[in-house]
Amino acid sequence: MVRYQSAGLLLAGALSLLATTALAQQQATPAQPPAAAALPPGSPLIGRPDNNPAAAKLAPVPSPPLATAADKLPLDKLKAPKGFEIEVYASGMPNARSMVLDDKGTVFVGSRLQDKVYAITNKNGKREVKVLVSGLYRPNGVAFKNGTLYIAELSQISKIDNVEDKLDSSPKPTVIYNDLPKDEAHGWKYLAIGPDNKLYFEVGQPGNNVLHDSAHGQLRRINLDGSGAEVIAFGIRNTVGFDWNPKNKELYFTDNGRDWLSEDLPNDELNRITKIGQDFGAPYCYQGDIPDPDFGWGHSCSEFVPPVALMGPHAAALGMKFYTGTMFPAEYRGQILVARHGSWNKTKKFGGDIALVKLNKDGTVKSVEPFITGFLQPDNNYVARPVDVMNMPDGSILVSDDWNGAVYRVSYGSKKTAER
Amino acid sequence: MTDKGRLVRKSIAVLTLGCLTALPASAQTVKERLPTCLACHGENGQSKNPEVPSLGAQQVFYVTVQLLMFRERMRVVDPMNDMAKGLSDDDLRSLADFISKLPAPQPPDGPVDNARIERARTLVEKNHCNICHTATFAGQENVPHIADQREDYLIKALRGYKDNSRRGYDAAMADVIEPITDAQILDLAYYIARVK
């Protein structure tokens, strides 16, 4: 008799935030019930209870592989507070993920499941989507500095110099750093350049809840030429979004919590780095106060740095930015906007919105509230899923949506059309 | 290229030449290409060509993803990249829809080795194949229908995931195949090609 239920289950085969590893190292065996011991270390199924029909229905939600046609985008379903407008900035970019803006108004968009980095050019208000480069391996991370575009794939960081001159010439990126594991699970990367002019990216934990070696579960930085790699922070399960507080240059990052603990716990985290070498707890302690039932024995959550905010259960908090514009009302200025991609490991889904995180003067968090909603609908289905947030020079923001392969622009006040 | 690959290539070349039009695949509409598709993959969802998969009753989502990967060369497989070249997104959708409506492939006739079947059943339970692919192996959404797929194609696919020569849209198959030996791949393919 088949032990597991199979009703409506979309599993490790699905397109997920928790894609599984192909080359997992041999690790200390987690204390799993015997039936689950056969699962490979990277599998998002590890920890899922047996013989539980409700649990058996939960699996990562596959995103549509083709971009939604512009006239079919669910703009009417996305909601923002009074005075805000949401419009389509660009569409037709399947699996549109992290974004970066260059100095000529071009927006580059990475992708996790497909092989492309897109460019949205903007000439005299006319926008056009191009494929800048294809044939890459999970090019989720993009960053830009001094004419050079940097791309983070699963296991290498590369660059394209003078990218603006090469938008139509299918440039071939040059690899600058590849001392990286090849694990699929949490292997895709967010990339950003700090105030110190270094490239920051993570190496995620190679599985839902696993012990790992010293090359995983961390945030690293390298010089722009790929040299000088250092580990900045430890105990990170998977961060796909981080940004520096303009006031004091402190780095804040989101971190996705483990699955198969319970419907409502743990929360995803928003963390703050105050010095190099801090440990944020994974996989021993989640959300600052939950010792992991498998690995927490012999440890205390007090050994680790707790989050500055809880971002909701299984919310999939991804890209985040400090809002640096002045277009939005005062209550938004200097606060953090976080894309919550939305849950899969929860029967009643959570997230699917852009959250507004308000800070106290000392950099701790005052509140977390939904700002732009509707990506997740009341019928418990996604019509869109936000991945990244980006400031535009005019004070509006862009939001990427990997479900539809589109980028939206959110503005405030009377100016409706996207201008430079 | 393997001997089998050469044989497949030759069969396809013969079949393609026998096709109605002399236009390269990429210049044809979906309708014009379909006879060539079916010449290799079989008119009734059942492929009679070595290592060419049966397509009958395949999941729409899965077919869309595979055709997309061929079109974008995320998977490089002769002659599929040419066959998918120039197809629009809507072409992919309508092809996927058409393919999903072809009759499901049937298991081969003849006696079965029950010991192998039992070994494979144990592997399926242990590795949870029947969770994603479902108890009947009909698949769902992005997980393919594999019930009664050609045994040689199943072997080829599983081996491809194992040595990373076949890229998955996501990492699922690469991950689950990690602990499985080649001997087990052969048993699994034997069983799944014959499920009733």
Residue B6 has pLDDT above 70, yes or no: no
Residue in A3, A20, A72 to test binding to B, most B beta-carbons within 10 Å? A20
- CB-based contacts of A84, cutoff 8 Å, min separation 6: A328, A372, A410, A411, A412
Residue in B123, B127, B170, B195 to test binding to A, most A beta-carbons within 10 Å? B170
Q: What is the C-alpha separation between B158 and B78, in angstroms, rounded?
A: 18
CB proximity A14 to B under 8 Å: yes
The CATH T-level fold of domain B3-100 is Cytochrome Bc1 Complex; Chain D, domain 2 (1.10.760)
CB proximity A49 to B under 8 Å: no
**CA-closest candidate to residue A256, choices A270, A268, A241, A240:** A268
Q: What is the pLDDT of residue B130?
A: 87
Interchain contact, A115 vs B72, CB within 8 Å? yes
Domain spans, chain A: 72-412
CA distances from A168 to A163, A172, A256, A359, A418 (A): 10, 12, 37, 42, 23
Interchain contact, A2 vs B179, CB within 8 Å? no
* Category of A140 on φ-ψ map: left (φ > 0), alpha (ψ -120 to 50) or beta: alpha
Q: What is the pLDDT of residue B185?
A: 98
- ipTM of model over 0.90: no
Q: What is the C-alpha separation between A286 and A265, in angstroms, rounded?
A: 9
Q: What is the C-alpha separation between B164 and A137, in angstroms, rounded?
A: 13
B189 CB neighbour count, 10 Å cutoff: 23
CB proximity B94 to A under 8 Å: no
Q: Please check whether the domain covering B114-192 is classified as CATH 3.30.300.30.
A: no
Q: What is the pLDDT of residue B44?
A: 94
CB proximity B138 to A under 8 Å: no
Residue in A50, A113, A182 to test binding to B, most B beta-carbons within 10 Å? A113
Interchain contact, A22 vs B164, CB within 8 Å? yes
| Residue count of chain A | 420
The b-or-e profile of A115-139 (16+ CB within 10 A means b, else e) is bbbbbbbbeeeebebbebbbebebb
| Under 8 Å between Cβ of A102 and A163 | yes
Helix axes B89-100, B30-41, angle to 10 degrees: 40
Q: What is the C-alpha separation between B117 and A296, in angstroms, rounded?
A: 42
Q: Please check whether the domain covering A72-412 is classified as CATH 1.25.40.20.
A: no
The beta strands (E) that lie in A213-359 are given as 218-223, 230-234, 242-244, 251-255, 267-273, 278-279, 285-286, 290-291, 309-313, 317-322, 336-340, 353-359
Domain spans, chain B: 3-100, 114-192
CA distances from B37 to A8, B61, B81 (A): 31, 18, 12
CB proximity A98 to B under 8 Å: no
Predicted confidence band of residue B27 (pLDDT cuts 50, 70, 90): low
Single-letter code of the amino acid located at A201: F
Residues of A in contact with B131 (CB under 8 A): 4, 6, 9, 11, 45, 56
Q: What Rg, from alpha-carbon coordinates, does chain A have?
A: 20
What chain B residue is nearest to A35 in terms of C-alpha separation?
B126
| Under 8 Å between Cβ of A20 and A184 | yes
Residues of A in contact with B64 (CB under 8 A): 65-66
CB proximity A36 to B under 8 Å: no
Predicted confidence band of residue B9 (pLDDT cuts 50, 70, 90): low
Q: Would the CA dihedral through A69, A70, A71, A75 be positive or negative?
A: positive
Tokens of A80: 């923002």
- Tell me the backbone φ, ψ of residue B65, rounded to 5 degrees: -65, -45
Interchain contact, A22 vs B143, CB within 8 Å? no
Give SS3 for A292.
coil
HEC letters along B33-99 = HHHHHHHHHCCCCCCCCCCCCCCCCCCHHHHHHHHHHHHCCCCCCCCHHHHHCCCCHHHHHHHHHHH
B3-100 and B114-192 share one fold: yes
Chain pair A-B, CB pairs under 8 angstroms: 114
Distance of CA A137 to the CA centre of its chain: 17
CA distance A367 to chain B (A): 36
Q: What is the C-alpha separation between B125 and A64, in angstroms, rounded?
A: 29
Tokens of B26: 């990429």
Q: What is the C-alpha separation between A16 and A366, in angstroms, rounded?
A: 31
Give SS3 for A176.
strand
**CA-closest candidate to residue A243, choices A215, A286, A273:** A273
Question: Nearest CB to B132: which of A13, A42, A185?
Answer: A13
Q: What is the C-alpha separation between A112 and A188, in angstroms, rounded?
A: 7
B17 vs B140, more confident: B140
Q: What is the pLDDT of residue A347?
A: 94
What chain A residue is nearest to B167 in terms of C-alpha separation?
A137
In chain B, residues 58-77 whose CB comes closer than 8 Å to chain A: 61, 64-65, 68, 72-74
CA distance B192 to chain A (A): 15
Residues of A in contact with B175 (CB under 8 A): 12, 19-22, 24, 40, 42-43, 184-185
CA distance A71 to chain B (A): 14
CB proximity B130 to A under 8 Å: yes
Write the DSSP string, A55-98.
HHT--PPPPPSSPPPGGGS-GGG-B--TTEEEEEEE---TTEEE
Question: Nearest CB to B74: which of A20, A42, A115?
Answer: A115
Q: What is the C-alpha separation between B168 and B69, in angstroms, rounded?
A: 9
Q: What is the pLDDT of residue A407?
A: 98
What does the pLDDT profile of chain A (420 residues) look like in tens digits? 333 333 333 333 333 333 333 333 333 334 333 343 456 677 777 777 766 778 777 878 889 999 999 999 999 999 999 999 999 999 999 999 999 999 999 999 999 999 999 999 999 889 999 999 999 999 999 999 999 999 999 999 999 999 999 999 999 999 999 999 988 888 899 999 999 999 999 999 988 888 989 999 999 999 999 999 999 999 999 999 999 999 999 999 999 999 989 999 999 999 999 999 999 999 999 999 999 999 999 999 999 999 999 999 999 999 999 999 999 999 999 999 999 999 999 999 999 999 999 999 999 999 999 999 999 999 999 999 999 999 999 999 999 999 999 999 999 996 555 543
Question: Nearest CB to B126: which of A6, A38, A113?
Answer: A38
Span B30-45, pLDDT tens digits: 888 889 999 999 999 9
Residue B53 has pLDDT above 90, yes or no: yes
Q: What is the C-alpha separation between A47 and A39, in angstroms, rounded?
A: 10
Helices and strands (H and E) in chain B: how many: 10, 0
Q: What is the C-alpha separation between A268 and A271, in angstroms, rounded?
A: 10
Residues of A in contact with B178 (CB under 8 A): 21-24, 40
CA distance B16 to chain A (A): 28
CA distance A51 to chain B (A): 12
CA distances from A203 to A85, A151, A191 (A): 36, 15, 11
Residue B15 has pLDDT above 80, yes or no: no
Cα angle at A90 between A86 and A91, to 5 degrees? Answer: 110
Q: What is the C-alpha separation between B76 and B83, in angstroms, rounded?
A: 12
Residue in A11, A23, A50, A131 to test binding to B, most B beta-carbons within 10 Å? A11
